[in-house]
Amino acid sequence: MKADSLKLPAPDSYDVAVLALFVRVSDRKGNVDVPAEQAALAEQVFKSGKPVVTVGFGSPYLIERFPQAETWLAAFGISDVAQISVARALFGEIPVKGHLPVTIPGVEMKAGFGMEVPASPMKLQPMEARAEAQLQPAYDVVEKAVADKAFPGATLAVGYRGKVTIHAFGKLRYDAKAAAVVPSTMYDIASLTKVVATTTLVAKLLEGDFPVGLDLDAKVERYLPEWTATRESAQGLQSSFHENAKDLEWRRRVTVRHLLTHTSGLPPFKEYWRTSTSKEETLRRIFVEPLDYEPGTKEVYSDLGIILMAEIIERLTGHKLDDLAHSFVFCAAGHDRHNVQAGKKTLALDCANRDG
């Protein structure tokens, strides 16, 4: 979408605007500026009458182009790291301590200029009783769901303009003797780990964050040779293995991308947990599980495909998925304390004690 086709929201619909300007700078080449249509859009933002925080990515010389900007935050780059750091600084999670290494012509900013702002993480305040009373219709919906046994219990958090309330409903189980849910109850996020942990780690492999990379279009058997298992390698699982030429031909066509997009042909789920005694046994069962359909022809949500994806990640990196998720996902995202389910054990992890 072009800048000149954007329609800005009405000034009375927001409290403050964050205007981010990006420019790629080549060493001693060209001028530092933004396209005319983008500059015109920026001018509209400044004329809104609302406070504007202007962020310059790539070069501090962008400040010269907009002297009317009263609040500037400059980052010497446009990388993901720079963008994340700016967001964290804006919300007070990290301090601002940088100073200009150059003098900006046209404005009163000389080399060494810079305001140091200490970290001041945002803190939510408890919601007043009057405001919470207005949430009673929402509470009634959740309470009815508990009474109808849609789920045994729940925790609802509502935040609005810096105020938050957390309300607990029901019990942890349907058992009459089960403990009641409390505001601090922690829940297993279950299948969200597929996108929060596993898929995020795949993205990091693709972006080169690990010494070894990942090819989405590579055949699964490249990373998991057991995937195209023969009857002889089924290791006691012959009863569940079908020596089927078509199935074997399909298996050899399955790629990593098929696993991620749930188009591999694997069934949605199997109750391996009832009889499997180890992770290795579960994997062996998946390796010989017949495909339900030709790869790439359907999209069928499959737990089995993501289990294989997790195994590929572990083999490529040499580290367990829970350790990787702890270090590269949860701690990196600021979740300082979290639990990770490792087999039948729940590990309470603290980012203050992370390794690497």
Instruction: Give the tens place of pLDDT for each residue, 69-79.
Output: 899 998 888 88
Residue scoring higher pLDDT (57 or 333): 57
The pLDDT value recorded for residue 241 is: 46
Length of the chain: 356
Phi–psi pair at 240, nearest 5 degrees:
-105, 5
Evaluate if residue 326 carries a pLDDT over 90: no
Residue 237 binned pLDDT confidence (cut-offs 50, 70, 90): very low
- CA 194, CA 191: separation in Å to the nearest integer? 6
The pLDDT value recorded for residue 8 is: 86
SS percent in the chain: helix, strand, coil, step 5? 35, 15, 45
Beta strand 125-126 with 71-75 is unpaired
Residue scoring higher pLDDT (3 or 154): 154
Evaluate if residue 356 carries a pLDDT over 90: no
Phi–psi pair at 55, nearest 5 degrees:
-115, 125
CA-wise closest residue to 255 among 215, 301, 302: 215
**pLDDT averaged over every residue in the chain:** 85
Phi–psi pair at 203, nearest 5 degrees:
-60, -40
pTM of the model: 0.57
Kindly report which listed range (17-31, 201-215, 323-337) carries the lowest average pLDDT score: 17-31
Classify 200 as helix, strand or coil.
Answer: helix
The pLDDT value recorded for residue 157 is: 94
The pLDDT value recorded for residue 313 is: 95
Evaluate if residue 4 carries a pLDDT over 80: no
Show the beta-strand stretches assigned E in the chain.
17-22, 52-57, 71-75, 125-126, 153-160, 163-170, 337-342, 345-350
Evaluate if residue 244 carries a pLDDT over 70: no
Classify 232 as helix, strand or coil.
Answer: helix
CA-wise closest residue to 63 among 76, 53, 54: 54
CA-wise closest residue to 156 among 174, 175, 131, 136: 136
- CA 323, CA 330: separation in Å to the nearest integer? 10
Evaluate if residue 174 carries a pLDDT over 70: yes
Supply 319's token pair. 């580290």
Residues β-bridged to residue 163: 125, 160
